[in-house]
Structure 1
Amino acid sequence: MTPAPGPLPTRPTPDAGETRALMELVRRLAEREIRPVADEEEAAGRFPRETFRTLSELGLLGLPYQSEHGGGDQPYEVYLQVLEELAAARLTVGLGVSVHSLACHALARHGTKEQRAEHLSAMLGGGLLGAYCLSEPTAGSDAADLRTRAVRDGDDWVITGTKAWITHGGIADFHTVLARTGGPGARGITAFLVPRDVPGLQAAAPERKMGLNGSPTAQLHFDGVRVPDDRRLGEEGQGFRIALDALDGGRLGIAACAVGLARAALDEAVAFVTDRRQFGRPVSDFQGVRFALADAATAVEAGRALYLEAARRYDAGEPVSRHAAMAKLFCTDAAMRVTTDAVQLMGGYGYTADFPAERYMREAKMLQIVEGTNQIQRVVISRHLIGPPERD
């Protein structure tokens, strides 16, 4: 089964009027439906499934994919700005859209024409939610060491193993699963599209996390899960390349989410220090406070410029691995600094759950870990600069 060509590697130039209308739609949705309940929903650990159904109905879950399959025909430059806006309102939502898009990527870019016709429209605009299943309990940063195995049995594949740290684990409707079909290393890995309701697929209890309590993260156990060969994505042994291809876009999604989170923390800090008075004047009058806010604002703008530049390269079909790693590294480190400074500027109030600053700080830590830790991003960037290190 040889895959038909996926969507073209180059994407349309953004239309200014269309982009403004789209962003206004997203801002209204964020301000009216997402932001007002974010604190309560995160504290209760509730996933906003109805919000995702609304996003699907509005076409916001398939923005960077082709309209013939239910996508929005939007360039990544626009899609990432939407992610930033959603993440600024509630990171669980922005991250969820990014993960869903990541889960759709293998089918959209590497599936056959028949596979895309059968599955992609429902995935992009049919109210479904996706999960991306690469990491395992013993294969995180070294993703090529995965041990989940898929064995051929007639016209089917039988998948056995455990996936770990899966966003939307236990609630996703479909899963892009990377499993070993050959020998050790990257060349023995194949991608599969696995639905939710197959026998043998079971989710563990959600992880107890520092933050993002509304976004379930869980292990998935595959106990002899049987899928037909027509759910194999790409050729046998091509899965690791497919996974890395998807991660470039995924890392840009995390960068945009990080900028949105940092922006939310900055807005919270500005509002607080402007209103709060100490020593007979607003806290915002003090130079130390002003300098901290100036640094935070600069980090937000620099992060946005970096992810947008990487997005333009991505839209132009240029290699983007180095720039995606840079954007993910810089933006998530910036989010950690900005959210930490926001808590500090707000003093004891910032440390309480009465204000969202402490939640932003806890959530920022996760962004430095997902889609490849920031140490791995530094490895990627340095390899592009000077090549791999010498081996003993």
Structure 2
Amino acid sequence: MLDFSFSEDHEEFQKTLSTFARRELLPGYTARSASSEFPFALLKKIGDLGVLGIGLPERFGGTGEDDPVLLGIASEALAYGDVNLASAPIQVGLVGAQLLHGTEEVQQRYLPPVIAGEENLAIALTEPESGSDASALRTTARRVAGGWLLNGEKTAISWAMSASAALIYAREEGTTRSSGVSCFVVDLASEGVAVRHMIGMGCLPLGWGSITLDGVFVPDSHLIGEEGRGFQVAMNHFDFSRAAIGLMCLGAAEQSLEEAALYATQRSTFGKPISEYQGVSFPLAEQATYIEGARWVCYRALWLRQQDRPHTSLASMSKWWAPVVAKDAIEASMKIHGNLGYSAEFPLQQRFRDVMAYLVADGTAEIQKGIISKEILARKTVSL
């Protein structure tokens, strides 16, 4: 028998985070999102709730048990209040999963403060000439006594401006494509590192920026995983982050739709609430339907990961479709609010711009559709 329900623990966790998001995060979301200052005080509160260590070892402050579904619930629920801060469990999950391939020294240095919400680490993969084709990166790592020298530039890196360190992906000179790419933890205060702010149309608190490396020395102890296999490790973890990102966007859309429904019952024209007009009520019904469908694609991808079953295609569906559904739902909510939906005093326009980033970030729709279609066509080839 199919079962689409969460466990009692999941349900309780969702209620706790939803309450926290709407009480603690939602009231200041609009003002925070207009600033490039990272809200570390709120990140610490989220850390205190145990949300930043999902699936990471207890000895570092994590939950211990690997639970991708719980990560999805956290991302969705926190986004009711602040879609930018809702990305924190995903970011820490990605960073932490990769740090577990590192040395004990690196794990002890970075995992406890990151899980506690006291420090941020960035993931620096994208480059000026290798965005979606991340395996074509040009940043180099040259072997020297006791470590490596890194040279290159990373761009459009989230959390760059608030991070104490970054996971830098670089290739050994002479290698091509994903072969030869290694991952290194680089302290952003190191000599030869320059970080520059890049202002976007949304997600300002996440500190979008570029990182330039000019002969930066990284000791052997800061190599993550096996030499030359950093790219493969990163790609494996992106499957769970893609579904969680989809749920994060949908959480922002769900909150927007709730606000639109409330407004529709309070705003009257021609002697009756605008909720009684099909031009208002039908868009609410349509967007709620799309959100519900997209949610379960995301949660099924996370459930399959938890069961250690193939889920790459569903993760890609989650990444391209859910942000589109969320954007459309927020846009519909803005229209229901009329001129107020366009006002900078209300959170709708801010959510719209913040969610728009995920139409591109972490893999465009075209890249995701390519992954999905490749799997579909592969099945046909096997059947022949």
TM-score, normalisation: structure 1:
0.90
SS in structure 1 at match of 2:203: coil
Map 1:40-51 onto structure 2 (within 5 A): 40-51=31-42
Matched residue, 1:272 = 263
The answer to whether the aligner puts 1:79 opposite 2:71 as a matched pair is: yes
SS in structure 2 at match of 1:237: coil
The amino acid that maps onto 1:358 is: Q
Whole-angstrom CA distance in 1 between matches of 2:309 and 2:205 = 36
Q: Given that residues 139 and 153 in structure 2 are in contact (C-alpha distance below 8 angstroms), is that contact kept between their aligned partners in structure 1?
A: yes
Matched residue, 2:279 = 288
The amino acid that maps onto 2:169 is: L
**Cα offset, 1:78, TM superposition:** 1.1
Map 1:26-37 onto structure 2 (within 5 A): 26-37=17-28
Instruction: Report the RMSD for the aligned CA atoms in angstroms.
Output: 2.0
Matched residue, 1:10 = none
**Cα offset, 1:46, TM superposition:** 3.1
Matched residue, 2:382 = none
The answer to whether the aligner puts 1:258 opposite 2:252 as a matched pair is: no
Q: Given that residues 170 and 202 in structure 1 are in contact (C-alpha distance below 8 angstroms), is that contact kept between their aligned partners in structure 2?
A: no
Map 1:233-382 onto structure 2 (within 5 A): 233-382=224-373
Q: Given that residues 191 and 232 in structure 1 are in contact (C-alpha distance below 8 angstroms), is that contact kept between their aligned partners in structure 2?
A: yes
**Cα offset, 1:26, TM superposition:** 1.8
**Cα offset, 1:66, TM superposition:** 2.6
Q: Given that residues 104 and 130 in structure 1 are in contact (C-alpha distance below 8 angstroms), is that contact kept between their aligned partners in structure 2?
A: no
Question: Which of 171, 182, 206 lines up with 1:180 in the alignment?
Answer: 171
Whole-angstrom CA distance in 1 between matches of 2:114 and 2:82 = 22
**Cα offset, 1:115, TM superposition:** 4.8
Query: Once structures 1 and 2 are overlaid, which stretch shifts more, 368-377 or 98-107?
Result: 98-107
Question: Which of 144, 153, 158 lines up with 1:153 in the alignment?
Answer: 144
Whole-angstrom CA distance in 2 between matches of 1:308 and 1:132 = 24
Whole-angstrom CA distance in 1 between matches of 2:279 and 2:14 = 34
Q: Deviations over 1:274-304 (max 9, x none)?
A: 1111111111001121110001111221121
Whole-angstrom CA distance in 2 between matches of 1:287 and 1:175 = 50
**Cα offset, 1:149, TM superposition:** 0.8
Whole-angstrom CA distance in 1 between matches of 2:295 and 2:108 = 35
SS in structure 1 at match of 2:179: helix
Question: Which of 69, 87, 91 lines up with 1:99 in the alignment?
Answer: 91
Aligned residue pair count: 373
Matched residue, 2:120 = 129
Matched residue, 1:24 = 15
Q: Deviations over 1:72-119 (max 9, x none)?
A: 1251111111111111211110123322322222122x3356654554
Matched residue, 2:195 = 203
Map 1:4-19 onto structure 2 (within 5 A): 16-19=7-10
Whole-angstrom CA distance in 2 between matches of 1:122 and 1:42 = 24
Query: Once structures 1 and 2 are overlaid, which stretch shifts more, 138-147 or 345-354?
Result: 345-354
Whole-angstrom CA distance in 2 between matches of 1:219 and 1:207 = 7
Percentage of identical aligned residues: 28
**Cα offset, 1:267, TM superposition:** 1.2
Q: Given that residues 170 and 220 in structure 1 are in contact (C-alpha distance below 8 angstroms), is that contact kept between their aligned partners in structure 2?
A: no
Structure 1, unpaired ranges of 5+: 1-13
Query: Once structures 1 and 2 are overlaid, which stretch shifts more, 277-286 or 246-255?
Result: 246-255
The answer to whether the aligner puts 1:59 opposite 2:54 as a matched pair is: no
The amino acid that maps onto 2:186 is: V
TM-score, normalisation: structure 2:
0.92
Whole-angstrom CA distance in 1 between matches of 2:120 and 2:58 = 18
